[in-house]
Structure 1
């Protein structure tokens, strides 16, 4: 398999361009706003924050249950692409289905959003697991960063169009903003489906052996059990996964709850949407620069730099008073959000054997998605019991602090050797 085939690399990276439309327009952008003002109209702001937090947590919990087993099965049968497109189809269908939900029906909106998140996150398990198939140790940081960078650009382009649709609905033939937002959910489905095709056509994975067909599920369970046992004994890898679980919890919570937080402070929704556009378009070059910086310095050191910036971001967010400060917040986030995600993925890829990529990335995504259970729940419960939105966002800082502490004890070269010897 050619790990440096440019067609395979760009086809793989374009999937981030494809599904980031869901992350921007639906997850981070219009759904939190529309949920508060339309689907959950008339509900107290802290209650709707809790409802949104619970929806995010439930979807993550389902992926937590599925990720390790599906990763093991995918490795046993070389089914990464098939599982990727199965989950992508679910996400695409649910994104379009949001357009059918009527005003005030927050329960149905939350259910469809939850299923859409499962499709989005589930497909990313197998997208991540295909990274070793299109890269090697020399270019993995760049390839991983390219995926996130194209994700920012692609998601940002469609999001910009969606924002124009919502601000000028009559130009597109829509009767009002609500119809335009629903149309934007449909546009996400079309975009996601269309730009997933290059990965389907040009990224290859090893075909499964014929004799595996009848024992595929059994093999998946056996490999899952074996990997659980080994991960517990691999101290270095275990420490990294704990560190990643903690700090990526903070990253994902900020992605999903930032707009909701801005609305709780009374900021205008248009200002919040424009700030998200800043994140998308600044995030594109920033992610590539951060990935390049990792080549010059060291991947672990640059991850630490990103963690430090996030701690500052949280402190700043908890004290901001004016809408213009939210733009500054968005700019700071855009500088490190893609970088910390890309480098965490490539850092982990350096420590695991390609033969077991889907299985180990199942665990990687397991912890990442488990984090997205804890983070939104933390924000939801602090908001409910304290009735203080500033305190709820400030509570996220502890996750970055402890994540950085655990990361201190990780040496990727020693971990890679330890994992390789254990898996032989």
Structure 2
């Protein structure tokens, strides 16, 4: 256990670092640029489907590798090494997006898929280090600190990127397209720079020098043993399924909000500004949800967030004016970081020490499996109905069923079940 301020803030600062990719690339400029530049001659619903399928493919890759790599990382203390390998992939692909030309949507999607794999893969091991830098008493605060710094860091760079986009001549760019490409490079530099404190100050036991084949074999055997027991753990299994459903809705909204706004005909500048607003409201709101959890309990605060998301979806399906998009952006900002942070810390309490990366491998397995289904649902409904409002409304069922299953989860019983199973 390394619970001291330097270690905690060094760990949390990684969220500040890689959230630039989540904000500028995933949520902001890539969906905008993909529709207006990479696939400008493609029908709107078709480009929405392409984007949804790309998100699903990258999530599927993480689903397939997350549990095994998490198991290996636990056995051989490789969480930091794997974190930086995936980070390097994400950083490189973010910079590579700047080299893709107009109309080259296939190349853009290929690079985007690889970049998402790097981003999501690094988060497996970042989450896995949470137990190393916190205690059960402080885990809500530490987890919330990471998400809140992520909102702030992502917002700071994104505000600069938006300025570059809107006032491109001031920065010496030929046009807005060049400014967006430069923003992709800035994400890579930002991510690399602010990852350094975690590399230097978050300590992990030195890994055992052993062959890759042996690591894979040992990791697989441990994974198989743990997976067979997880199926018998009622409370942990229920939470993972509930989380899979409601976080599916959260991730889908993050990835598809700008695309949805463009499908409704809203101006891209308004959409980008609304997204920027999310970042700066999300910073204090995530910390506020930590305080709410102290009053309502972690589970109660998650329920509050789910209820607000259901209201957001119903409003989004009927909105007509751009001011409504701004209002919904604020509401999303109030709950997005809270539900992500508290879900992570709630799950962390049920995991015995020494199994963090492995079980967070399953956690990310579930989260990314959800990220396959949500965008895929949006893509298919958009193609079948040719109606963006119908596709966004369909997400509500995921929150409803997830909330019902969460009701039957008992955190303390889940922790006891898991300890008994692993001894």
Q: TM-score, normalised by structure 2?
A: 0.99
Which residue in 2 is equivalent to 1:288? 287
Deviations 1:347-386 (A, max 9, x none): 0000011210000000000000000000000000000000
Deviations 1:141-186 (A, max 9, x none): 0000000000000000000000000000111110000000000000
Which residue in 2 is equivalent to 1:271? 270
Deviations 1:10-49 (A, max 9, x none): 0000000000000000000000000000000111110000
1: CA distance, partners of 2:288 / 2:222? 38
Which residue in 1 is equivalent to 2:38? 39
2: CA distance, partners of 1:308 / 1:296? 17
Which residue in 1 is equivalent to 2:242? 243
Which residue in 1 is equivalent to 2:114? 115
- Say which is worse superposed, 98-107 or 289-298, in terms of deviation: 289-298
- 1:208 deviates by 3.3
Structure 1 segment 17-416 matched on structure 2, within 5 A: 17-209=16-208, 215-416=214-415
2: CA distance, partners of 1:352 / 1:292? 23
Partner SS for 1:233: coil
2: CA distance, partners of 1:111 / 1:211? 34
Contact preservation (8 Å) 1:58, 1:373: yes
- 1:213 deviates by 7.9
Partner SS for 1:165: helix
Q: Structure 2: state its 5+ residue gaps.
A: none
Partner SS for 1:169: coil
2: CA distance, partners of 1:386 / 1:171? 43
- 1:297 deviates by 2.2
Deviations 1:182-231 (A, max 9, x none): 00000000000000000000001122345798732221011110111011
Contact preservation (8 Å) 1:76, 1:212: no
Q: Structure 1: state its 5+ residue gaps.
A: none
2: CA distance, partners of 1:235 / 1:210? 37
Partner SS for 1:355: coil
Give the 3 Å change call, closer, same or farther, for CA 325–123 of structure 1 in structure 2: same
